[in-house]
Every structure is written in structure tokens, then in C-alpha cells.
Copies of this chain bind each other. A is one copy, B any other.
């Protein structure tokens, strides 16, 4: 396993970061450097958190009721987690789902980030060689998180821009049949809602199609909802649990076959603190996942701090509201900046990124051309963005561009650079007709990673989603 390559580290997604690290943009020290737009970080609301910390010095100093919590916390290693922390976590989960679902802390398992939550769920649900179906495009890290150590397989559910990458019944059935052809037992469908990289939330119809499918096949649904707190615009976010409740499935078998992954890395912008969690109504799964959480417990120091921050309900309400306002504003800056260059974003209402259509800038409708354009965007334009192919997108020409990990000034400069690039490369623009789905699927099969990419060493260590 130590020499196995299936961790996906060599993906262009990670390699772009390495290029960035070699020549990072800085407004004064390195104004011609690469601007990092491949990192789904939420840096927009740190001022709120920092002012909370200033007002609550006691908490970070472990002081409570006149005594010190240090000793108790230093010794606390119960894998059930701090009860006070779990109580406020489920309240937060309910809050960002508009209280449409009631969550019970006894159904929650804490994990060191959602990376660990996802792997733990797969260890619980699938034996080596069994498969999960995942809609494309999806977060590149899943190839590492879900497959590497568990031995499980991923079978893509191919989604296309023609219907804004929505999941359809036929796409689900096709993926299921594909798994059967490969002699893989399908254990579940794994969705990311809101989607990374699309920045969209799943519709009621989509969720219903998915639930009906899972019931018919008697398989599980894992819903990675780590971006639930970033939904900044309509349509509103519907959690898979809400969709189950709407269909009155609380007493059905399906109720125990649906599992949510959540995190504070995106909603609160705290990836460094490694706070992830699994929520499920399935007692057996919760018991097993709790035991497995020994392999990735959250520092009690951090559990304690966050139990206090989240426990300040008034503050959290304000934070979520302000943060969404900021995100919406940034999304608009990015979308209008790109529109000025004639580039369109997929309509979106969530996340820290847009999924951007650059098909018109491709030399040909292939993934090779996408890699070529990507290389040019890094080296000539000075932006690190993530090519759709790194997210297993089923058609070439799409890029994920992040907007919440930089200042407004930097975002403006990035937009200016794109504008200059499109202008000066007018001759590249081929005014292609939109490619047919069939043509795109064909070019997917011809996909190779450009040589220069694999020659790069893989030294970057971010766990980013």
C-alpha cells in the first residue's frame, strides 16, 4: 500500500498547487506571481471569529467557573467526544438547514476532518472490491479518501452540462449497469450536496430520483454536506435528511441507509482545526464509526474552543448570515468579471467556487486541449485553477475557480489577467458549436495527462477540498 499510486496525489488538481507554491502572488513582493484560485478556503469572515476570541479570552485560556479546564481537557480522550461539543454541533447542523431536520447528538461521530469521516464511512459500508457510485464532476480527493486504504471502487455517474450536470434516473441506471459489467457490488451512491466543484445544491426532484433509486436497489446514500453553511442564494438547500422526511420515510429501511458528512472547515473556515463528523440514524454504523474514530480523534483543546464558539448561538447566527453575504458578493465579482471576458459560469448558489465554462478557449474539444489551456492559464495568465478533468468531469473545457481565499483586490487582478488573456488570444477562440454529449464522452476515453504534468514531483500536502 505504501507504494500504491491510487491516492491520486499526482492529479493536476494537486500539481497546480505545487506550481503556485513555486511562484506565489503577492501584491508587493511578487505582483507577477501566480494567484491561487484552486483552493476552496473560506477566508472572508475571520474578522468575526477574531473579534469573538478577543471578547472571550477565558475560553482559549481554559478558564471556566473560576477554575482551569486544562487538566480535564488534557486527559479527555473519549472517542464519544465532548458531549457539550456534540450538543452544539447538532444545533449548528440544524441551524444551517433552517431547522427542517432535528439532529440527535447520539447519532453523531466526531472525526479529524471530513477526510477521515468519508474514509470511515466507506470502511463501514463497503468491503474491498465493492463500489460506490459518484456523480461527476467530483472532488479529486475522493479517489484517495474513499478508495486507497478501504479497497473500495468508485464508478462514475456521468453528468453533463446539457442539463447543468443534474443527476438523472438514466445516468444512475447506467452507472449501476457499468458496475455490474465490472462485477462490482454497488453499496451506495455518494453525493456532495452542495456540490464541489459545481457550487450548486441538489433540487427536490434530483433528491427524489436518488432516493427512489437507492430504495429500489437497496443501497446506501452518503451525502457529503460540508458546504451546507455556504448556501448564499436561492434555491434553498435541501439536506438528504429533509428529503427523506418530506417523503415520510422515517420508518422505512432507507432511514437507516442514509448518512451525512459534515465539517467546520468550509462553513466556519477552520480546516486547520480538523473538525469533521458523521451523522446517521443507523445505530450499527454509528457504533462502528465511533470505534474507528480512535484513529482520528479531534484534539480536546479544539473541541472545547469550538463548543464555546458554536455555543454562542447569537454570534453564530450573525456569522452565518454575514458570511453568506460575503460569499454572494464574491461570487458576483467573479461571475461578472468573467462575463466581461465573455466567459460564463454555471449558475450556482453555494460553495467557495464557480464551475466555469471555457470550452470556447479550447483548441479542440478534448481533454488534451483542456490540459493545454490549463497549463497556459497557470504559466501565461498566472492563475492556478482546477481543470474539470481533475474532478472527473465528463466533458472537456470546464474549470473550478475559487473566490473566497483572497482579497477583493486580488480577485480584481485575477479578473483583469483573464480579460487580458482572452483579448490577446482572440485567435485561439474557435467559436465552436457546443459539443454533443457523445463527442465529449468519446474524448474522455482518449484522455491522457500531459507528460509535463507527471514529471513534476508531488510534494504538496494540503488536504483541501
CB A41 to nearest CB in B, in angstroms, measures 6
Choose among B71, B144, B301 the residue that contacts A294 (Cβ–Cβ < 8 A): B144
Chain B residues closer than 8 Å to A9, beta-carbon distance = 291
Q: How far is the CA of A49 from the CA of B75 in the complex (A)?
A: 13
Chain B residues closer than 8 Å to A41, beta-carbon distance = 75
State whether B50 touches A68 (Cβ < 8 A).
yes
CB A57 to nearest CB in B, in angstroms, measures 7
Contact with B along A302-344 (1 / 0, CB 8 A): 1001000000000000000000000000000000000000000
Choose among B49, B60, B74 the residue that contacts A272 (Cβ–Cβ < 8 A): B74
With A1-B123, A50-B68, A53-B62 known to touch, is A74 a contact of B295 (CB < 8 Å)? no
Chain B residues closer than 8 Å to A50, beta-carbon distance = 68, 70-71
The closest CB in chain B to the CB of A297 belongs to: B274
Q: How far is the CA of A53 from the CA of B265 in the complex (A)?
A: 28
State whether A299 touches B273 (Cβ < 8 A).
yes
Give chain A interface residues in 89-147, CB to chain B under 8 Å. 112-113, 115-116, 119, 123-125, 127-128, 144-145
- Contact of A357 with B by CB under 8 A: no
State whether A298 touches B295 (Cβ < 8 A).
no
CB A387 to nearest CB in B, in angstroms, measures 22
* Residue in A73, A272, A461 whose Cβ sees the most chain B Cβ within 10 Å: A272
The closest CB in chain B to the CB of A305 belongs to: B301
- Contact of A174 with B by CB under 8 A: no
- Contact of A77 with B by CB under 8 A: yes
Chain B binder among A22-30, A235-243, A282-290: A282-290
Report how many copies the assembly holds. Answer: 2
Chain B residues closer than 8 Å to A265, beta-carbon distance = 77
Chain B residues closer than 8 Å to A463, beta-carbon distance = 77-79, 294, 297
Q: How far is the CA of A238 from the CA of B52 in the complex (A)?
A: 48
- Contact of A80 with B by CB under 8 A: yes
Chain B residues closer than 8 Å to A68, beta-carbon distance = 50
Q: How far is the CA of A51 from the CA of B270 in the complex (A)?
A: 29
With A273-B299, A273-B301 known to touch, is A144 a contact of B291 (CB < 8 Å)? yes
* Residue in A53, A125, A149 whose Cβ sees the most chain B Cβ within 10 Å: A149
Chain B residues closer than 8 Å to A298, beta-carbon distance = 112, 274, 299
State whether B295 touches A119 (Cβ < 8 A).
yes
Q: How far is the CA of A285 from the CA of B288 in the complex (A)?
A: 28
Q: How far is the CA of A260 from the CA of B439 in the complex (A)?
A: 53
- Contact of A434 with B by CB under 8 A: no
Choose among B53, B77, B124, B144 the residue that contacts A462 (Cβ–Cβ < 8 A): B77
CB A84 to nearest CB in B, in angstroms, measures 14
CB A272 to nearest CB in B, in angstroms, measures 3
- Contact of A271 with B by CB under 8 A: yes
Q: How far is the CA of A57 from the CA of B270 in the complex (A)?
A: 22
Give chain A interface residues in 243-298, CB to chain B under 8 Å. 265, 269-274, 284-285, 287-292, 294-298
State whether A464 touches B291 (Cβ < 8 A).
no
CB A366 to nearest CB in B, in angstroms, measures 30
Choose among B46, B73, B271 the residue that contacts A77 (Cβ–Cβ < 8 A): B271
* Residue in A3, A71, A274, A289 whose Cβ sees the most chain B Cβ within 10 Å: A274
Chain B residues closer than 8 Å to A301, beta-carbon distance = 272-273, 299, 301-302, 305
With A144-B294, A149-B149 known to touch, is A269 a contact of B123 (CB < 8 Å)? no
Chain B residues closer than 8 Å to A284, beta-carbon distance = 2-3
CB A300 to nearest CB in B, in angstroms, measures 3
Enumerate 28 A-B pairs (CB-CB under 8 Å) in ascending A order: A1-B288, A2-B284, A2-B285, A3-B284, A7-B291, A43-B75, A49-B74, A60-B60, A60-B62, A61-B61, A74-B270, A75-B271, A76-B271, A77-B113, A78-B463, A79-B461, A112-B112, A112-B295, A112-B296, A112-B297, A113-B297, A119-B295, A144-B291, A149-B292, A272-B299, A273-B301, A290-B461, A299-B299
The 8 closest A-B pairs by CB, nearest first: A272-B300, A296-B296, A2-B288, A299-B299, A76-B272, A299-B302, A2-B124, A79-B461
